[in-house]
Amino acid sequence: MHKSTQSLLLLLLPLLCLASCHTGNGNEPAIGNAAGSLENTVQARSPRYRADSLRLFAPLKQLYDQRRERESIPYLDSVFLLPASLRPDAPQHPDSLSVTEARVLCNHALRDLMANYNILMDFEGGFRHLDSLQRLRLPFVERYCLRGLLTAKAQMLMPLDRHAEALQCLDQAMRLAREQEDSPESDS
């Protein structure tokens, strides 16, 4: 019974990871794989979004092509430092990203971090990195991207045989999903 439960969880984990990193509410498309598709994912992009996304993700594509995933991590970390609005209904300020734009970039960065650490097979390092992001308690990440962060942490814990901790992360992510089900702040 215990082995079958673990096998089921290992099969469901990648699906949950993909679902948690999806930014759409049904009307918004999922994040693209390259910077070129990023700029077309949401209507009426700000110049700030275009500049930031190209500055951050264009070098990543080159590093991925060269199979230098570890060198791409600082670019991904810098996504979480971008100025972003915390209120969806606030008028857009020229020096900050809208909520939607920042969610796209943050969820893209979380997904790429998770993928990089999987490729590098550095699950312990990936967990420590994602855990440090959570411990920073960045207001935007806590409000809009915590579910994706928790799911990515769970994915790092599973190969380390830390199943109880992984399940705690997934339970917390699912609890957030239930609490935010009808909220405009929900990321899926």
Q: Which residue has the higher pLDDT, 138 or 70?
A: 138
Residue 23 in contact with residue 104, Cβ under 8 Å? yes
Is 185 among the domain residues? Answer: no
Q: pLDDT above 70 covers what percent of the chain?
A: 67
Q: Which residue has the higher pLDDT, 40 or 110?
A: 110
Is 14 among the domain residues? Answer: no
Residues 6+ apart with CB under 8 A from 184: 88
Question: Would you say residue 59 has pLDDT above 90?
Answer: no
Q: Which residue has the higher pLDDT, 147 or 61?
A: 147
Is 16 among the domain residues? Answer: no
Whether pTM > 0.75 for this model: the answer is no
- Among 141, 14, 26, smallest CA distance to 76 is for 141
pLDDT given at position 44: 60
| Segment 97-137, tens digit of pLDDT | 888 888 888 988 998 899 889 988 999 999 999 999 999 99
Is 132 among the domain residues? Answer: yes
Identify which of 16-30, 48-62, 85-99, 149-163 has the greatest average pLDDT. 149-163
Is 37 among the domain residues? Answer: yes
Backbone angles phi, psi at 97, to 5 degrees: -80, 150
Angstrom distances, CA of residue 5 to CA of 1, 11, 13: 6, 10, 12
Is 24 among the domain residues? Answer: no
Which domain range does residue 138 map to?
32-179
Q: How many domains does the chain have?
A: 1
CA angle 64, 57, 134 (to 5 degrees): 95
44-77 in b/e burial notation, b at 16+ Cβ within 10 A? ebeebbeebbeebbeebeebbeeeebeebbebbe
Residues 6+ apart with CB under 8 A from 5: none
Is 18 among the domain residues? Answer: no
Q: Which CATH number belongs to the domain containing residue 50 in this structure?
A: 1.25.40
